[in-house]
């Protein structure tokens, strides 16, 4: 409760775990699968969701919950759930709303793994999606909606194209069609952008990235704003009371608005109000699918979160210097970094990311694919790794690595040029990063 009033930097350090008198100052790792009760009835009440409490870590664990509370506070949401990966977070966010026969619309400027999940794997479960260009007009994007469309999805800053989502535009389109906007906010983190303030309803994260920040563990998170009313299918102001009975939701979002037979006929919206989405996510999906992080990993994530505000500022400062350096070098064909005044996303960045975007930038070299390979192989301190957004500067060629399963046409659709090099600028001394880039550029001519 105290969390709403505190500034993001304080939330990074203090939110989630508020020790009582005599309790450990540092978040304890509750490395236990189970929790003990003295009588049968107490445990039965927990199973029936009549009481809150811990009984099995697949559903809830005190360490995991404390970290989820911190992320919810940072995003300004009503609740959050940790998952074992960012992939799981995006899957759960969609699957909590959509079932076989449903459809959703997504920007095509999204992470390659998410592109596959949406376009291939969800299709096998009977959930279809339509990929749209996020730069298209509201009318063009609206044309992709069908009567069975249940959500709109986008990434605040796309991986790897570094394009900025016009969140307000996407929110308008989603709400006009009576569906929630889900935004993957992995790259800016809530330090640099809080999508709920621009109308998004649900936020997802790969906490593997900046939130952990040290490349120690894979994880994800789903956060709910509590601002989408599933019964009436409308986005509501954060403080407005939920309209009571009988909207369109029974037909549109039956999973949330009609009785869940696996919970003795309980209806999530009726019993949990603004916590309906979160409760279903945990009590039904996590119960049945079980992609939880270990409490040990949640503890490591929390350590990362404690310095997130400091690291994001340094990532942005270093990336700005690197982007300016690359954009002035003759051997570089192009650079995408929204902090550059010449960047096509600069105006959107000024609106949504006034304090900086993130440390990731994309660029291409003059020459062919081999030029990119030679440049990357010449780097000394900057490593080639399948990762972004940790303390150490690293580089990747998506067409050869993360996105290699996509055809050239799909690559272009996903905003990934075959020559695109993704550089994730770390928090080392900027001079050392620039020196390594300079010497590698000298190797190519
Ligand atoms: N979302 C974005 C924007 C990502 O960049 C990634 C991974 O790179 C994911 C989701 C998937 O996250 P994870 O690797 O933690 O499963």
Note the pLDDT tens digit of each residue in 344-376. 999 999 999 999 999 999 999 998 878 988 999
CA distance 135 to 109: 10
Band the pLDDT of 240: cuts 50, 70, 90: low
Number of the ligand 1 atom closest to the C-alpha atom of 187? 3
CA distance 67 to 280: 19
Average pLDDT of the residues of the chain:
94
Note the pLDDT tens digit of each residue in 103-124. 999 999 999 899 999 999 999 9
Integer angstrom CA distances of residue 157 from 135, 295, 333: 13, 29, 22
Residue nearest to atom 15 of ligand 1 (CA): 86
Note the pLDDT tens digit of each residue in 164-183. 999 999 999 999 999 999 99
Residue spans of alpha helices (H) in 117-253 = 122-124, 138-142, 167-176, 189-192, 249-252
Number of the ligand 1 atom closest to the C-alpha atom of 387? 8
φ, ψ (nearest 5 deg) of residue 78: -85, -20
φ, ψ (nearest 5 deg) of residue 332: -100, 125
Residue nearest to atom 1 of ligand 1 (CA): 206
Band the pLDDT of 51: cuts 50, 70, 90: confident
Number of the ligand 1 atom closest to the C-alpha atom of 402? 8
Residue 5 CA to ligand 1 center (angstroms) comes to: 30
Q: Which residue from 74, 72, 307, 86 is spatially nearest to 213, judged by alpha carbons?
A: 307
Percent over 90 (pLDDT), the chain: 84
How confident is the model at residue 241, as a pLDDT?
Answer: 52
Measured between alpha carbons, how far apart are the two ends of the chain, in Å?
58
Q: Which residue from 400, 409, 329, 396 is spatially nearest to 361, judged by alpha carbons?
A: 396
Residue 31 Cα to chain centre, angstroms: 26
Of residues 112 and 95, more confidently modeled: 95
Number of the ligand 1 atom closest to the C-alpha atom of 207? 15
pTM of the model: 0.95
How confident is the model at residue 1, as a pLDDT?
Answer: 46
Rounded mean pLDDT, 323-351: 97
Here the tokens at position 295 are 């409490």
How confident is the model at residue 242, as a pLDDT?
Answer: 52
Ligand 1: lining residues by beta carbon, under 6 Å: 85-87, 90, 111, 113-114, 155, 159, 184, 186, 206, 208, 218, 220
Above 70 in pLDDT, residue 239? no
């Amino acid at each position: 409760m105290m969390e709403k009033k505190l500034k993001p930097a304080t939330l990074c350090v203090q939110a989630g775990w508020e020790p009582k008198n005599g309790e450990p100052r540092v978040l304890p790792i509750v490395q236990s699968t189970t929790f003990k009760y003295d009588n049968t009835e107490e445990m039965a009440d927990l199973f029936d969701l009549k009481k809150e409490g811990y009984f099995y870590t697949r559903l809830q664990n005190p360490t995991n919950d404390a970290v989820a509370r911190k992320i919810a506070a940072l995003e300004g949401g009503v609740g959050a759930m940790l998952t074992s990966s960012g992939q799981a977070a995006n899957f759960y966010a969609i699957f909590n709303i959509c079932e076989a026969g449903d459809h959703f619309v997504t920007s095509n400027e999204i992470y390659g793994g998410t592109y596959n999940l949406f376009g291939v794997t969800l299709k096998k479960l009977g959930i279809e999606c339509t990929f749209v260009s996020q730069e298209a007009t509201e009318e063009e994007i609206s044309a992709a909606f069908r009567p069975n469309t249940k959500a709109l999805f986008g990434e605040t800053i796309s991986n790897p194209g570094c394009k900025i989502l016009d969140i307000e535009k996407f929110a308008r389109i989603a709400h006009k069609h009576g569906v929630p906007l889900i935004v993957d906010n992995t790259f800016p983190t809530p330090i640099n952008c809080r999508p709920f303030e621009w109308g998004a309803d649900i936020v997802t994260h790969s906490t593997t990235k900046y939130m952990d920040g040290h490349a120690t563990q894979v994880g994800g998170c789903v956060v709910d704003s509590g601002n989408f009313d599933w019964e009436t299918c409308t986005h509501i102001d954060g403080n407005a009371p939920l309209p009571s009975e009988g909207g369109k939701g029974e037909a549109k979002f039956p999973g949330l608005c009609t009785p869940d037979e696996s919970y003795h006929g309980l209806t999530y919206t009726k019993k949990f109000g603004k916590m309906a989405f979160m409760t279903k996510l945990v009590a039904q999906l996590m119960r049945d699918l079980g992609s939880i992080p270990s409490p040990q990993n949640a503890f490591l994530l929390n350590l990362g979160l404690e310095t997130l505000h400091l690291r994001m500022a340094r990532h942005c400062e270093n990336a700005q210097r690197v982007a300016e350096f690359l954009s002035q070098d003759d051997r570089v064909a192009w650079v995408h970094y929204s902090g550059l005044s010449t960047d096509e996303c600069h105006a959107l960045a000024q609106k949504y990311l006034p304090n900086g975007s993130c440390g990731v930038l994309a660029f291409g070299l003059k020459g062919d694919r081999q030029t990119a390979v030679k440049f990357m192989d010449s780097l000394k301190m900057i490593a080639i790794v399948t990762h972004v957004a940790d303390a150490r500067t690293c580089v990747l060629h998506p067409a050869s690595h993360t996105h290699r399963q996509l055809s050239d046409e799909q690559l272009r659709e996903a905003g990934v040029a075959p020559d695109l090099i993704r550089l994730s600028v770390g928090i080392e001394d900027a001079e050392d990063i620039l020196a390594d880039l300079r010497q590698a550029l000298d190797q190519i001519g």
